[in-house]
Every structure is written in C-alpha cells, then in structure tokens.
Amino acid sequence: MTSTATPQIDHREHPEQCADSTEIVHREHHGNCANCEHPAPENFCPACGQKTHIETPTLFEFIHEYLHHYVALEGTLTRTLWTLITGPGRLTTEYIAGRRQRYIKPLQLYLTISFIFFVLLGLFGSIVHVIPNTGGDEQTQAQVIIKNLHPGPRAASGADEDSAQDKAEAALELALDKKEQARDAAKDKAKPGGQMLSSDVPWINNFGARLERLKDEYMAHPDDTMAHLQKEGMRKLPYVVFMLMPIFAFLLRITYFRRRFVYGVHLVFVLHVHAFAYLLFLLSLLPFAPAGPLATVFVVYFVAALRKVYGGRWIPQILRALALFIVYGLFVAFGLLGLVISLI
C-alpha cells in the first residue's frame, strides 16, 4: 500500500497560509521588497527605503527603537536639547545651513516637549491657581454666606440641621434672584430701544448669549466656574497654540521681509522658540518656581534668537520683539476668548 505524503508548505514563500499559527512569522529576504516588489538585494529597498528584512517587533524592540532613534543615535536628543538651551536661534541656523541629521526635526522636537509638558501638567497639577473670590460683590458675598452657613454646636442634629440649611439657602437664593431681576429690568429701561439692541447676525447673538451664560455661572459659582474653565482651557490649549504658530511665522515674515527667507524658515524658528517655551513651562511646574524670572528668561532668549537668525543690532531687535509680542498677544487674546466661549 502506498501512502500519500502530505505536502509541506514553505512558510517563507507563503506566510499567509500560517496565519492560524500562534508564532510570529519572520519574513526572510528573497531579493524583492515586500512593500513595492522592487528588486532590493541590500538591507534597504532603493525604491521606497523600507527594510528588506521584516519582522514583527517585540515590546523590548519597540522601546529599543525609540531610545535608539532619540538618544543612542549619536546623542541626537542630548545634542538637540543642549543646542536649544545654550544657543538661542542656533538650531534654526543649523537647519538653514543643512546640518539636520544630527538634530531632531523641528516639528518632532516641539511635539515631544509639549507632549511631555501636558502629560506632567495633568499628573502634577496646574501652573494656574484659582483664588477664591471674596470681594465686595453682593452675589459673591451671598455665596460665601451660604457656603459657611453651618449650624453651631448648639443646633439640633440630623434632619433639623439639614432643614435649617435648606431654608437659609432657599431664602438667600430667592432674594438674590429677585434683586437680579429688578436690576436687569432697570438696565433694559435705561437702554434706548430695549430689545432692539440685539443684532440681526445669528453668530453675534449666540456670542452674546454665551457670554451672558458664562457671567451667570461665574456669579453663582465663581470658584467652580474658574476651576472648570482652567481645566478645559489647559486641555485645549495645545491645539490653540499649535494653530497660532503659523500666524506667528507670518508675522515674522512681514517683520523681516528684507531677509528674503521663505516662509518655512520662519516656521522652523517658531517651532524652536515654542519648544524652548515649553521647557520653561516644565520648570514652572516645580514647587515655588518663580514666574517672573522665567518670563524674563524667555524674553531675553527670544531677542537673542532673533538676532542670531535674522541679524541686526540689539536695539532694533528689541523693538521688533516688542512689536511682535503686542500683535501676537492680540491674536492670543482672541484665541483664548474663542476658547472660553467654546467651553460654555
């Protein structure tokens, strides 16, 4: 009796037929690129640049690849950070000169430092602290009274304490509501045309309604409202800053139009400056970090970086930096205003 031998599948040529196997398949190189099928006799494909020896990396290999790319590869991370900190504007001039392989790419550097900052900010708290408002405003004073209105040691326990607290809160809230309604009515009478002041443009009306709602929430719960705005604002701040950087680069192009730099050079400079700013923000997370000296360091760094990249004397550069801060500050103010409105 003759037995039929089971054909053996060469997994090297047919890796898809061993998909049910629990073992990781390591592809061996057979002369063609697995990505584009171009002849690739060496370690990298000459057409697309992919490695010719493909295998699924382990967790250790993922970590090793990351560290090798940022740290071990000729000290790229260390060299980039050292140059960024000690040489204002030097990273940009190195980029312009074509010496780019030895440093981390500008966008990659910015995203890495900003990512670390916002992760640590979420873990260890905020650089902005909400200070309770106990000023002379009537609504605020009433909220303080309600918050601190607790029965003394002589008061009855249990339901009597809860009942007294609820009655006091209800009475104060009712009185405040009536006073607020009377005040609003008086304001409406004082306005020429009353409701005719409302705009016919829908987004303007929506904007005003959102501002009114924010004001009401702040008057009712100032600390909670500020804490909410702080939390949501810091959550969306990276997107706002990232969206404003092209505007900053455009302002630089207008300011230094005689330098004949392409727009990309200004954008690279902005990325490097913002990366340094986030390093200072990281320092601001430390306990008792002085905000004033850190702001002074950034101003000096920015002026020195302008002089390094664009040239010129110190006094004109200081004046240009001042003008940039003012104009860009207006954009930031409008951006933050839009951010606050979007959070309502």
Please tell me whether residues 236 and 283 are part of one structural domain.
Answer: yes
**Secondary structure (3-state) at 312:** coil
Q: Is residue 6 one of the residues assigned to a domain?
A: no
The residue that leads in pLDDT, 225 or 335, is 335
The CA distance from 293 to 286, in Å, is 14
Q: Is residue 13 one of the residues assigned to a domain?
A: no
Please tell me whether residues 245 and 332 are part of one structural domain.
Answer: yes
Q: Is residue 336 one of the residues assigned to a domain?
A: yes
Q: Is residue 297 one of the residues assigned to a domain?
A: yes
**Secondary structure (3-state) at 51:** strand
Contact 146, 172 (CB under 8 A): yes
Please tell me whether residues 187 and 254 are part of one structural domain.
Answer: no
Please tell me whether residues 171 and 193 are part of one structural domain.
Answer: yes
Of 284, 289, 290, the closest CA to residue 121 belongs to 284
What pLDDT score was predicted for residue 308?
95
Q: Is residue 63 one of the residues assigned to a domain?
A: no
**Secondary structure (3-state) at 26:** strand
Contact 50, 33 (CB under 8 A): yes
Please tell me whether residues 269 and 306 are part of one structural domain.
Answer: yes
The residue that leads in pLDDT, 8 or 108, is 108
Please tell me whether residues 266 and 334 are part of one structural domain.
Answer: yes
The CA distance from 287 to 283, in Å, is 9
pLDDT above 70: residue 12:
no
Given the structure tokens 């700013």, which residue do they identify?
A: 277
The residue that leads in pLDDT, 219 or 78, is 78
Please tell me whether residues 238 and 253 are part of one structural domain.
Answer: yes
Q: Is residue 78 one of the residues assigned to a domain?
A: no
DSSP assignment of 112-158: HHHHHHHHHHHHH--SS-PPP--SS-HHHHHHHHHHT----TTSPPT
What pLDDT score was predicted for residue 173?
62
Please tell me whether residues 332 and 273 are part of one structural domain.
Answer: yes
Please tell me whether residues 44 and 24 are part of one structural domain.
Answer: yes
Domain ranges, residue 169: 138-151+161-223
What is the arithmetic mean of pLDDT over 99-109? 89
The CA distance from 306 to 183, in Å, is 53
Please tell me whether residues 253 and 213 are part of one structural domain.
Answer: no
The residue from 223, 243, 268 where one domain ends is: 223
pTM attached to this predicted model: 0.60
Beta strands in 181-248 (DSSP E): none
Q: Is residue 279 one of the residues assigned to a domain?
A: yes
Question: What total of structural domains would you count in the chain?
Answer: 3
What is the arithmetic mean of pLDDT over 243-266? 92
What pLDDT score was predicted for residue 35?
83
User: How does pLDDT run across 282-292, given as a tens digit for each residue?
Assistant: 888 887 777 78
Please tell me whether residues 236 and 334 are part of one structural domain.
Answer: yes
What pLDDT score was predicted for residue 246?
94
Of 129, 168, 131, the closest CA to residue 284 belongs to 129
- The pLDDT-based confidence of 90 (bands split at 50, 70, 90) is very high
The residue that leads in pLDDT, 158 or 110, is 110
The CA distance from 48 to 36, in Å, is 7
Q: Is residue 328 one of the residues assigned to a domain?
A: yes
Other C-beta atoms closer than 10 Å to the C-beta of 294 total: 15
Percentage of residues of the chain with pLDDT beyond 70: 56
- The pLDDT-based confidence of 344 (bands split at 50, 70, 90) is low
pLDDT above 60: residue 72:
no
pLDDT above 80: residue 68:
no
Percentage of residues of the chain with pLDDT beyond 90: 24
User: How does pLDDT run across 281-323, given as a tens digit for each residue?
Assistant: 888 888 777 778 888 999 999 999 999 999 889 999 999 999 9
Of 77, 3, 88, 32, the closest CA to residue 301 belongs to 88
